[in-house]
Chain A
């Protein structure tokens, strides 16, 4: 960069226009790519109004989404709290797609737009493109087309089979959405474009080969009356299966083709969002670290004024504010605060370690190459492993973390298991990391078997961990949806590690309009 360009301010005051945005983007890109060595999808920046931001909010941030009342409910709720002033709007929404789409709100000042571009268009964007979970489970190239297809398909079904029938199926699918993902690698990753193509082909094939005659052909007695062995049966059904939506899509006996397709859509979308839940701390930490570096660099280069930089610092401080546990604002760890603090801590360990850090982080302490280390971290960890690897004693002390152990059987109260001292670091770190362990957050529920010889009852098992049973009311409601899709009875047993059954839920299907 020549000195003439460097000395030039990107903008004056708070106003911006499209050329300003372009200038801001180019300046950020220069720092992101050259100084930080980021690797990003091409960017697409969309300017929207506050109302459109609310719209986007209520459909999980996606620009196009199928229609469903629950998004409306969310909208009503969010709009109410926004209008009442209970909630500010997020500064940005960014979509894991290629090109990576970032929304800028028109109300923002030029400084805020710079912050959002640095945060979303470079921080999140880099994380989406490089983190192994996203690489493995999401399909940035295909998602927008797929959502488009999904929207059209759902609308089409509503036209053909009625809004109510579609709604029932979608409600049921949504209830099972968190159990509609493959959790462990080994499965093929999403390829949503191919997915969409196959869906079209399936429909075309059906239409082409439809012949009403087949309906009248007698099916005759089944050829093989001999009992399948239990093992063989389970193998045929792919049991045990933890992806409940997948199982229903493949094996529910009375679903219509379009219902299976709807389950598939919900399942694919759930899978697409799955990594986001496991990387909240890292993802936000990355984006916050990146915007902090970029903004600081812009300031150092004289591309933004002191005033702009102060404005930025104000927003930045708000974002990374972590209330204490006894504050009325406390609602758990703020992923921005924790993530950013850890990234900065890593930077410190890499550049300026103390003896303690050398002992705890022999691999990276004093290594010198901050961005090299961080890029590696961003690519290869998720929240759980990230925290268990990189939460330093110094940060635990700084945030004054402590570990509570709450055993309902212990009537005297909640035990302070460990605090931020020599004896407690490992315990605190382990406990915090487990707090982000997907395996522990979601209940472990699997389809175990189907009573094919008897009443076709579907048998599920919840492997109870630490004595935490399912909330009974909600569990029954979800199971009701499940039973409606399965069309026969469903039973769920809650079993502890020793194999003893703690509770059993049995639900009978309601008649579904569509299945009737």
Chain B
């Protein structure tokens, strides 16, 4: 006989298999999430829910039979006699529970929480830190309590912990309490001589023991320990710029709204605090609340520069670029008065882009329109030119609700190098 001790062998031999399973499940779940998100409203999508993995993916089919005439022998008969008729269980035509295998496997479903759902969707996305990658990586150090230690500075002595340990030690070593000695001394005053000797000896013993066992010993002392933890810059502001001139239809606003919502969800995942600033503009711009932003009536000509101007002012007054990560997304149908181009371009290049982490331009169109059939809008042409000059601008065209996710996904795809023009 041969004994082998395998305990030292690396365990987790099936780790590789488990990873294969997760990898396989993950792509499926991701696919399911993306698919689910295209048909549903964004808000509902972000509620999470059940995702069913394609039957084909996770299941391991085998041929198995069901139904038909079945004979079974069972143990534990109590009262039946030959010829009795038993009621069929109602669930499935008699044979359902016997087979057990195949059917059970169909239900390879995951119920995803909101967080998981969004996580999976955003999993391979990353904020592009085009202009200020460095800034994004700056981390403040923070202190965090991290238990107790036996050494440290006096300022950090934890009194309660120290006393607790001292008490434990005193109890363990049976240090006499002062009351006991006092009591004995009191007794000493009026007692017989025999007893006196005894008491004196006892008091002597206790006193010396008290001396040997101090009330607080250096080994009792505990210091609070702190450790430093990196604290990421944890706030961001998101500017939503939208053209609300008459040419923007409800459909277009809806598209823009969806994009902003996604961006918001995305940012809240990254930062503790995300502020949103809504700026709508016609030929003049104003900061408004969300309700007004999307639903307030407005009309007039179109001057994109006004919105950029307003954003610039707000940044200067309220959001110091050193403290805030600034994101902006602009939605427009692309109409801008020709005369405004230069000013828009200059503002963007000189004021906005240098302080922004990311600036996305979303050109929204009517449903059904094909993005490549339309003539380039004036804004698109302008931004295109800026881009070609190397400005870190992201731009996409969207016509349909279902395109929002892919476009968003595309814009935020984790990138290795610099943004490359499409």
Q: Which residues of A contact B (CB under 8 A)?
A: 18, 21-22, 25-26, 29, 42-49, 51-52, 54-56, 58-59, 67-73, 75-76, 99, 103, 106, 121, 171, 174-175, 177-179, 322-327, 330, 333, 399-408, 412-421, 423-424, 428, 431-432, 434-435, 442-443, 445, 462, 464-471, 473-475, 477-478, 480-481
Contacts and interface: CB of A to CB of B under 8 A. Distances in A.
A27 B63 CA distance: 47
Q: How large is the interface on B (under 10, 10 to 19, 20 to 34, 35 or more residues)?
A: 35 or more
A18 B14 contact: no
Interface string B279-298: 00000000000000000000
Contacts of B71: 403-406, 417, 431, 434-435
Given A402-B77, A403-B71, A443 B60 contact: no
Contacts of A47: 3-7
Given A467-B69, A471-B66, A406 B6 contact: no
Contacts of B69: 405-408, 466-468
Contact of A71 (B17, B73, B86): B17
Contact of B59 (A22, A51, A477): A477
B80 interface: yes
B62 A55 contact: no
Nearest to A79: B18
B1 interface: yes
B271 interface: no
B179 to A, nearest CB: 47
A171 B4 CA distance: 34
Contacts of B17: 58-59, 67-69, 71-72, 75
B153 interface: no
B1 A25 contact: yes
Contact of B1 (A29, A406, A431, A478): A29
25 contacts: A25-B1, A43-B2, A45-B3, A46-B4, A59-B13, A70-B21, A175-B61, A399-B75, A400-B78, A401-B74, A403-B73, A404-B72, A404-B74, A414-B88, A415-B84, A416-B85, A424-B82, A435-B73, A443-B65, A466-B70, A469-B68, A471-B65, A471-B102, A473-B102, A474-B64
A428 B75 CA distance: 11
B316 interface: no
Interface string B40-82: 0000000000000001101111111111111111111110111
Given A443-B63, A468-B66, A325 B1 contact: no
Contact of A72 (B14, B70, B72): B14
B326 to A, nearest CB: 42
Contacts of B65: 443, 465, 468-471
A419 B83 CA distance: 9
B72 A403 contact: yes
A481 B86 CA distance: 41
A400 B76 contact: yes
A419 B88 contact: no
B317 interface: no
Contacts of A323: 76
Given A67-B16, A443-B64, A469-B67, A48 B7 contact: yes
Contacts of A75: 14, 17-18, 21
B76 A327 contact: yes
B119 interface: no
A399 B60 CA distance: 36
Given A417-B82, A423-B82, A435 B61 contact: no
Interface in B15-29: 16-24
Contacts of A408: 67-69, 93-95
Contacts of A73: 21, 58
B419 interface: no
Nearest to A71: B17
Contacts of B19: 72
B87 interface: yes
A67 B24 CA distance: 13
B11 interface: yes
A443 B64 CA distance: 7
Contacts of B102: 471, 473-474
A399 B75 CA distance: 6
A474 to B, nearest CB: 4
Given A324-B75, A325-B75, A416-B85, A477 B56 contact: yes
B3 A52 contact: no
Q: Which 10 A-B pairs have the closest CB atoms?
A: A324-B76, A468-B68, A72-B21, A72-B17, A477-B61, A325-B74, A467-B68, A69-B20, A468-B65, A432-B73
A44 B11 CA distance: 20
A49 B13 CA distance: 12
B41 to A, nearest CB: 32
Nearest to A403: B73
Contacts of A462: 63
B335 interface: no
A432 B58 CA distance: 35
B66 A171 contact: no
A423 B69 CA distance: 22
A498 to B, nearest CB: 15
Contacts of A72: 14, 16-22
A447 B134 CA distance: 66
Nearest to B22: A72
A51 B95 CA distance: 37
B106 interface: yes
Contact of B72 (A175, A177, A435, A473): A435
